[in-house]
Amino acid sequence: MTDQVPDNCTILSESYPIWDYSGSGFFSPEEWLDCGLESWSSACWRGYVAQYLVENDQLYLTGLGELKPTDELAFQRARSRLPFLSSSGPPESLRVSVRASGTITIGSFSSWLSIPANPDVIALEFREGILVTPLESILPTLGRWHDERKQQQLEAEAVRLQDLERQRQRDEDRAALARSLLLLSKPILALHPNAVEGSWLNGVCPYCNESGSLRVCKGALVLCRTCYFKRW
Ligand SMILES: [Zn+2]
């Protein structure tokens, strides 16, 4: 089974994957719905991905993804209590206060598929939906995570720019090669004024310098069989 896409929690404008829950009142089909949810992907076998937001010390549920209830009637009953529930995904502006009591453990790891052996985590404790963990106690760790993310973004951007530069260089080399092949092909073609596209001539390949049959391609290039099949 593929790992479940993690729930996430946004605090101080940054979103972190949720590593663990304890306590009660957080979203779960068992607690909130009168039915189960069908899996809609191998990476979401639970059938939902919960998104939370902590703002002004209050916990909100801001997303669940598309829900496929196992029992439509039971789901409609749950909707009469929780009208924001929708099988086509929660509305864009979903923001439901959650009166949960317990702990949400968030982590700094960026991918659920590569959780470090000793993950760096923060436990956020809530009482009736109010954050009781003092912000001052978690700010240093959140600050470090923020800096680490920034660093990763900068590194990823540097790699992207390097790739672009390499691609540009490759394109330039190709264009230069095409220009030089055109020049080298000209005198060979001049010797065969009636050569048509796709015909074969005898001569020295301007690309690899092997002599043998050369193919006329693109109306202006001649290449040996090997270079022709390798390059065009
Ligand atoms: Zn060749």
Tokens of 88: 């086509």
Determine the distance separating the centroid of ligand 1 and the alpha carbon of 165, expressed in angstroms: 28
Determine the distance separating the centroid of ligand 1 and the alpha carbon of 181, expressed in angstroms: 11
Residue 113 and residue 44 share a domain? yes
Distance CA 39, CA 37 (A): 6
Residue 128 and residue 69 share a domain? yes
Which H or E element spans position 43?
Answer: none
Determine the distance separating the centroid of ligand 1 and the alpha carbon of 168, expressed in angstroms: 25
Position 1 pLDDT exceeds 60: no
Determine the distance separating the centroid of ligand 1 and the alpha carbon of 169, expressed in angstroms: 23
Determine the distance separating the centroid of ligand 1 and the alpha carbon of 215, expressed in angstroms: 10
| Global pTM value | 0.71
- Residue that is last in its domain, among 106, 133, 160: 133
Residue 98 and residue 60 share a domain? yes
Residue 113 and residue 12 share a domain? yes
Determine the distance separating the centroid of ligand 1 and the alpha carbon of 222, expressed in angstroms: 9
146 within some domain: no
Residue 123 and residue 16 share a domain? yes
Residue 221 and residue 163 share a domain? yes
Residue 162 and residue 98 share a domain? no
pLDDT of residue 60: 96
195 within some domain: yes
Residue 123 and residue 156 share a domain? no
Determine the distance separating the centroid of ligand 1 and the alpha carbon of 112, expressed in angstroms: 49
Determine the distance separating the centroid of ligand 1 and the alpha carbon of 210, expressed in angstroms: 6
pLDDT of residue 8: 94
Distance CA 6, CA 120 (A): 16
CA atoms within 13 A on the CB side of 72: 2
pLDDT of residue 116: 64
166 within some domain: yes
pLDDT of residue 154: 95
Residue 105 and residue 44 share a domain? yes
pLDDT band at 90 (very low <50, low <70, confident <90, very high): low
Position 110 pLDDT exceeds 70: no
Determine the distance separating the centroid of ligand 1 and the alpha carbon of 180, expressed in angstroms: 14
142 within some domain: no
Residue-wise pLDDT tens digits, 11-66: 999 999 998 899 999 999 988 888 889 887 888 888 999 999 999 999 999 998 88
Position 2 pLDDT exceeds 90: no
Q: Residue 17 has what DSSP assignment?
A: E
Residue 13 and residue 112 share a domain? yes
Determine the distance separating the centroid of ligand 1 and the alpha carbon of 211, expressed in angstroms: 8
Domain extent, residue 176, equals 152-231
Residue 31's SS3 state is helix
The percent of residues above 70 in pLDDT, for the chain, comes to: 92
The total number of structural domains that make up the chain: 2
- Residue that is last in its domain, among 133, 168, 197: 133
Determine the distance separating the centroid of ligand 1 and the alpha carbon of 217, expressed in angstroms: 13
Residue type at 217?
C
Kindly report the average pLDDT of the chain as a whole number: 88
Residue 114 and residue 73 share a domain? yes
Give the count of beta carbons closer than 10 Å to the beta carbon of residue 183: 10
Residue 14 and residue 102 share a domain? yes
Determine the distance separating the centroid of ligand 1 and the alpha carbon of 45, expressed in angstroms: 55
99 within some domain: yes
- Residue that is last in its domain, among 133, 167, 196: 133
